[in-house]
Amino acid sequence: MTEPAIVLGPNQYGKAEVRVVKVTRETARHEIEDLNVTSQLRGDFDRAHLAGDNSHVIATDTQKNTVFAFARGGIGSPEAFLLRLAEHFTSEFDWVSGGRWEAESFAWDRIEVQGAAHDHSFVRSGRETRTAVVVADGAARHVIGGLKGLTVLKTTESGFEGFPRDQYTTLAETSDRVLATDVAARWLYARREGEGEGEGEGEGEGEGEGDGDGGPDYDASYERVRALLLEAFAQRHSPALQATLFEMGSRVLEECPEIAEIRFSMPNKHHFVVDLTPFGLDNPNEVFYAADRPYGLIEAAVTREGVVSPAAAWEGIAGFC
């Protein structure tokens, strides 16, 4: 018997975590945009791996410089910025058939001086980090918005009861507990009308960038999704983090027709009631030990019935089912 041939499998490469800060100085009141951008190209790179032929290898340094050059013209929403990068690399180089571009967007708030927001001094926001991904797969463009580190907590209207017990179960049932989590969510934008006829939901021709070309207003959509996630977390009793996750995702899909599906990765940040009886004190659910590990980790996708999720959009996104 002959041994099977060794062949090159799927591959991509690029420049990771390009930190770019853009200051707009058109007036005395400056604006600041702060991104962490990763560019990864896919296409005909076989000879670079198999023969050491770099004729198709666009230097990762070139990809970094492209990010900086494109920022000079303004960034806008991270989704639109990544779409511009995707269009550039797939149209400029014939052998680049697609790729994956990702960004983290960091918020800055204006420093207040005597009750007024300062024109050019900022403090890093304590909010969550906004995320974005654009995947180019041939003519299709998959746009994924998201956030991570959205830390939320409710002090009541949460419990955990009715779970199975065996010889290893020590957890007591409770109808009133602290529920806390760090929400990481990613949502896939649906394709626009007339794009990619015959293609799956979330696929498009990639001719536009959104934000002004008839596509989604990504900034407005982000703020809307964030608000809906917070409202859904707060408003209903939580029998378990799984039920709360589904409620949050359902609220987004009900209110945002531009979104095809949303996926979550949410740790259960356990808060345990401290036993104060050794000190002669009671503890009516007021003093807790916040444990950072181990923790429950709840992950799920919330989708629209009958809508097929494009697998290419989610490849390479770790931690999301």
Which CATH number applies to 11-138: 1.10.287.1080, 3.10.270.10, 3.90.550.10, 2.60.40.10? 3.10.270.10
pLDDT in tens, 244-275: 999 999 999 999 999 999 999 999 999 999 99
Single out the residue of 148, 104, 111, 109 nearest to residue 125, CA to CA: 109
27 given a catalytic annotation: no
Compute CA distances 212 → 33, 130, 187, whole Å.
Answer: 19, 20, 20
Same CATH topology for 11-138 and 144-321: the answer is: yes
Read off the pTM: 0.90
Q: Is 263 annotated as a binding residue?
A: no
Q: Is 160 annotated as a binding residue?
A: yes
Task: Specify the range with the lowest mean pLDDT, choosing from 52-66, 188-202, 299-313.
Answer: 188-202
Peptide bond into 257 cis (omega under 30): no
Using a pLDDT cut of 70, give the percent of the chain over it. 93
- Options 60, 129, 155, 303, the catalytic residue: 60
* Cα separation, 49 vs 98, whole angstroms: 18
CATH 3.10.270.10 fits 144-321, yes or no: yes
Q: Which bin fits 38, alpha (ψ -120 to 50), beta or left (φ > 0)?
A: beta
15 given a catalytic annotation: yes
Query: What are the extents of the domains in the chain?
Result: 11-138, 144-321
Q: Is 130 annotated as a binding residue?
A: no
Per-residue confidence at 318, pLDDT binned at 50, 70, 90?
A: confident
Decide the pairing of beta strands 108-113 and 179-189: unpaired
Q: What is the mean pLDDT of the chain?
A: 92
Q: Is 292 annotated as a binding residue?
A: no
- Options 64, 142, 269, 270, the catalytic residue: 270
60 given a catalytic annotation: yes
- pLDDT given for residue 195 in this prediction: 53
Q: Is 70 annotated as a binding residue?
A: no
pLDDT in tens, 192-212: 544 543 333 443 333 344 565
- Give the DSSP per-residue string, 81-93: HHHHHHHHHHHH-
